A and B are shown apart, each in its own frame.
Chain A
Amino acid sequence: MTQPLRILLAKPTHDSHDRGVRYLATRFRDAGFEVIFTNFLLPGEVTRIAVQEDVQVIGVSTSSGGHMPVFSDLIADLRAQHLNDVLVIGGGVIPADDVVELTDMGVAAIFGPGDSAEAAIALVRDHFAGRPEVA
């Protein structure tokens, strides 16, 4: 049976620039995804919710800096828990040279100001294309 893809969108609590990610949540929902949205203080909270909610995708939005430790902790956490299949994407105000480092770290894509919701949705769909258990 085909299950909708489940995506966790997460935003640090003290980063109030959540207009973009909240919009993205509605767009993923409209596109047929099951969307869980959370704010977090520590990156570990994201992993915990990802496991609880059994998501295939995690999207972290950060627009106030401080993104590097969040992503590195998150990726390390996922690896430690053998969740290597979870797709991690990011978005927000993230400088270009950090994007290179994040991609090397294993973040699938970083979306910046002005990028379209469609691009993020298409990337996730393409990643899971040919996986019949999810759609």
Chain B
Amino acid sequence: MFDKATLKRSRDAARRHGEAYGRLVKRFGNSAPARAQDPKTQSGLALKSAYFPHDIADIDFDDIGAPGEYPFVRGNLPAQYQLMHWANQPVIGYGLPEQTRERMDLLVKQGMVGYFGQQFFNLVYDLVSHEGLDPDHPAARGRIGQCGMAVYCADDMARLFDSMDLTKMNVVHITYYQVIPALAQYIAYAGRQGVRPNELRGNSMNWYHQSAYVGMSAFPADQGLKLAVELIRYCNAHMPRWNTTNFFGYGVEEAGGNAIEEIGLMLAFGIELVGACEAAGLSADDVLPRFGFQIAQGNDFFEEVCKVRALRRIWARTMKERFGAEDPRSMHVRIHTHTSGVSLTAQQPMVNLVRTTLHAFGAALAGTQAMEVSAYDEALSIPTEEAATLALRAQQVIQEETNVAAVSDPLAGSWYVEALTDQIATAASAFADEVAAQGGYVAAQQQGWIRRRVEASAAAWRRQVDSGERRLVGLNCYQADEAPPEHIFKVDKNAEQVAIERICKLRESRDDGRYRRAMDDFAAAAAGFAAASVSDLTESRLMPAAIEAARADATTGEMMAVLKSALGWRAPHEY
């Protein structure tokens, strides 16, 4: 990118800098901090004390290019936020569905908005639903409406959405592995409103591979991959506006993985999933435009920004060169940023407002499409109204007041940012190659390889915190005596009883004949699905049967029981 004379001057300047910098460091002797002696990113990539043009001399300009041009390192579209801000997508969900609705309405009133003025609702299900149970199961006690909303059937969808126009909003269903029952119930409810599946906008998680890096009960990994293909196939035929799959990179960093592992694993899984879709007769361009990514934005400011830029490049390259994608949307990485939860502290919780604002600012510079900013009280409880509103305000301040929205990819061309982007892209591609050498993502998951790698990073991080090498304000430095926090959110105590009563009443009042027929069909479809190989999945049978069951008022626990029995379901320590 630079002529010879410039490169020579650049190297000369770097040499002079190196000498002068070295003298300064020497003067500090042993009191020089580690970052002066051996600067590196949080994931361990080596950094320099300053960057020069020759540090990016080997990068071809076409690898950087223009915003909206392949390989999209500078963003998916020519405009970043000039025409429209990123979508506000705070995670919402607690208690009964009507209580979650209150929080949805509150945030709308506070200015939460998606694209084209429409609402995006990022709704999380509760622990009972995540486990694939109903509220009257003995293990549900104490967990109903905790960490998410107590939504278990089409009637609960009505309590959540009634009086809203489903065709004018975007709903993200944050599930664990109850993906199919949740979407089926949403479709069943929409049908009651006269809304067809092809009119619905939103997002399923469709991510059965979180258990690769955190301990939770799960379907066997190979069955999970098939379930993902099944949903993609159904949506391909019936829900053209539905974003089928959310690549859950955020979970990797929350589990302790570093930036390289996060995006390396996303690329590795992308290779596995697109390959599986192809085996089932779908092309890369059939499926890729409806994939999205949930990416963490954590403490190492530049590494986290460059990680996003790097992911866009390695994804676009892989999808184009390896899978023959031609549609630019197939090469785009659409990102929902979730600011890091794990970097927040229970100590001096208000300090988290500062942290999350920095995370959000980094995500804005990286060019994210949607954002959830963690609330400052996240290490203590479900966010209070005040904390949730402040988290939204952090986004609004960046959007309205800082003027970062005026320019696309504002950090481009920084010698440091381009060099680090390249370094991360290379390291993450190498990590994806390591996964491929294990036999691919699913095989690496089954062998526990992914878990071991992520856990090793988590342990390394913890050692650094314990030793004081990694400093966390309020935790291992600048501690203060503090009184316990006064306002802690608690889920309504009556929610539990109400949820149980509702589900029992539903079982008594629904049309039993219709329910039984639908569940028999669903069980037959599940048995056939369990026995099928990926290449047999040329027609969607499981999802339509699930929708019929949901229309017959089947609950999440009932539908998940069918799937667990057909596909297998194991606790994490059995893997």
Contacts and interface: CB of A to CB of B under 8 A. Distances in A.
B143 A66 contact: yes
Nearest to B94: A65
B571 to A, nearest CB: 5
Nearest to A63: B147
A95 B488 contact: yes
A106 to B, nearest CB: 18
Contact of B485 (A13, A39, A41, A96): A96
Contacts of A113: 345-347, 379
B381 A13 contact: no
B147 A65 contact: yes
Interface in A63-80: 64-70
Contacts of B573: 37-39
Given A23-B458, A64-B146, A113-B379, A14 B485 contact: no
Interface stretch (B47-55, B134-142, B527-535): B134-142
Given A39-B572, A41-B131, A93-B381, A14 B143 contact: yes
B380 interface: yes
B119 interface: no
Contacts of A26: 459
B484 interface: yes
A16 B143 contact: no
Contact of A15 (B127, B251, B380, B490): B127
A23 B142 contact: no
A68 B251 CA distance: 26
B139 A22 contact: no
A34 B381 CA distance: 32
B350 interface: no
A4 B484 CA distance: 36
Tier of interface size on chain A: 20 to 34
14 contacts: A11-B215, A13-B216, A14-B130, A19-B256, A39-B571, A41-B217, A42-B139, A64-B143, A65-B147, A66-B141, A70-B142, A93-B381, A95-B490, A97-B488
Given A13-B131, A14-B216, A42-B138, A22 B347 contact: no
B340 interface: no
Interface string A4-22: 0000000111111111001
A67 B381 CA distance: 13
A114 B215 contact: no
B500 to A, nearest CB: 14
A39 B345 CA distance: 25
Contacts of A23: 458-459, 462
The 10 closest A-B pairs by CB, nearest first: A65-B146, A66-B143, A66-B142, A69-B142, A14-B131, A96-B484, A18-B215, A113-B346, A16-B214, A16-B216
B176 interface: yes
Nearest to B454: A19
Interface string B340-379: 0010011100000000000000000000000000000001
Central interface residue in B139, B345, B475, by most chain A CB within 10 Å: B139
Interface of A: 11-19, 22-23, 26, 37-39, 41-42, 64-70, 93, 95-97, 112-114, 116-117
B491 A65 contact: yes
B346 A66 contact: no
Interface string B531-575: 000000000000000000000000000000000000000011100
Interface in B460-490: 462, 466, 472, 475, 484-485, 488, 490
Given A42-B139, A65-B491, A14 B345 contact: no
A67 to B, nearest CB: 7
B495 to A, nearest CB: 12
Contact of B147 (A13, A19, A64): A64
Contacts of B485: 96
A13 B345 contact: no
Nearest to A116: B466
Given A22-B455, A69-B142, A93-B379, A114 B347 contact: yes
Given A96-B484, A113-B379, A114-B346, A19 B255 contact: yes
A23 B461 CA distance: 11
Given A14-B176, A18-B214, A41-B571, 11 more contacts: A13-B216, A14-B216, A14-B217, A19-B458, A22-B215, A23-B458, A39-B573, A42-B138, A66-B141, A93-B380, A114-B472
Nearest to A41: B139
A113 B485 CA distance: 14
A64 B127 contact: yes
Contacts of B472: 114
B210 interface: yes
Contacts of B256: 19
Contacts of A68: 142
A19 B217 CA distance: 15
Contacts of B216: 13-16, 39
A117 B465 CA distance: 12
Contacts of B379: 93, 113
A24 to B, nearest CB: 10
A39 B485 CA distance: 30
A11 to B, nearest CB: 7
Contact of B346 (A15, A16, A19, A112): A112
A23 B459 CA distance: 7
Interface string B138-158: 110111001100000000000
